[in-house]
Amino acid sequence: MQRLIEGVHKFRNDEFGNYRKLFRKLSQEGQNPHTLFITCSDSRVLAELITQSKPGDLFVVKNIGNIVPPASAVGDTNSTAAAIEFAVDILRVADIVICGHSQCGAISALLGQTPVSDTAPHLRDWLKLASPVRETLKREYKHIHDDNARCTAAAEENVLYSLDNLHSYPCVQERLADGSLQLHGWFFKIATAELFAYDPETRQFAPLMPEK
């Protein structure tokens, strides 16, 4: 806790001066983020850091395994579904990024590589939402035996599964139909901080390049 408190003071004393105007503007005018960024709660994946975004740029949802549940599968109190609707319908973001990552503990648990104990029933039920990813792995990745490689493949498949599930939300369907919303699947490699983007044409994740 001491580290957090020291960090708060360090920010106020050393950094806040650089942001003073921006925070005041955001406070007066409200937020207008351009992107809904859905990623894992993992402490090593920092959306703002890896995209060099400023306050007000990203509307971030972090959950276990960056899973987007199908609209039909969620209860009425699902926070990820609520955040998607808020970002798409009310904030009118132009883009949604789903960003998976390497060495994901949630994916490892989904594949049964890390056990989930009986004292974590919510975690177990949440991961069940991504069980189709586990089935895809069984069916299409039989040739990969290495745990780490299977985990990477599943993390990538989970991004695609979650992208598919975004289409099940009426607000997303509407904005896709009128061309005002774009969806992106990304993968972050922790060791090298590289980002890869899914290319629907080649059906591969390729290094993310600046748009020409």
Residues lying near Zn ion in the complex (CB under 5 A): 40, 42, 104, 106
Strands lying side by side in the sheet with 35-40 = 58-63, 35-40, 95-101, 182-189, 194-199, 204-207
Q: Which residue, 18 or 43, has its beta carbon nearer to Zn ion?
A: 43
- Please report how many Cα atoms fall inside a 13 Å half-sphere around the Cα of residue 152, on the Cβ side: 12
Q: Residue 106 Cβ, how far from Zn ion at the closest point, in Å?
A: 5
Q: Residue 108 Cβ, how far from Zn ion at the closest point, in Å?
A: 9
Q: Which residue, 38 or 88, has its beta carbon nearer to Zn ion?
A: 38
Q: Residue 2 Cβ, how far from Zn ion at the closest point, in Å?
A: 27
Q: Residue 55 Cβ, how far from Zn ion at the closest point, in Å?
A: 24
Query: Within the chain, how many helices (H) and strands (E) appear?
Result: 9, 6
Distance CA 153, CA 144 (A): 9
Q: Which residue, 181 or 196, has its beta carbon nearer to Zn ion?
A: 196
What torsion, rounded to 10 degrees, do the Cα atoms 165, 170, 172, 174 define? 140
Q: Which residue, 34 or 44, has its beta carbon nearer to Zn ion?
A: 44
Distance CA 70, CA 89 (A): 17
Q: Residue 143 Cβ, how far from Zn ion at the closest point, in Å?
A: 24
Taking the alpha carbons at both ends of the chain, their separation in whole angstroms is 45
Q: Which residue, 68 or 106, has its beta carbon nearer to Zn ion?
A: 106
Answer whether 195's CB lies under 8 Å from 188's CB.
yes
Distance CA 101, CA 193 (A): 10
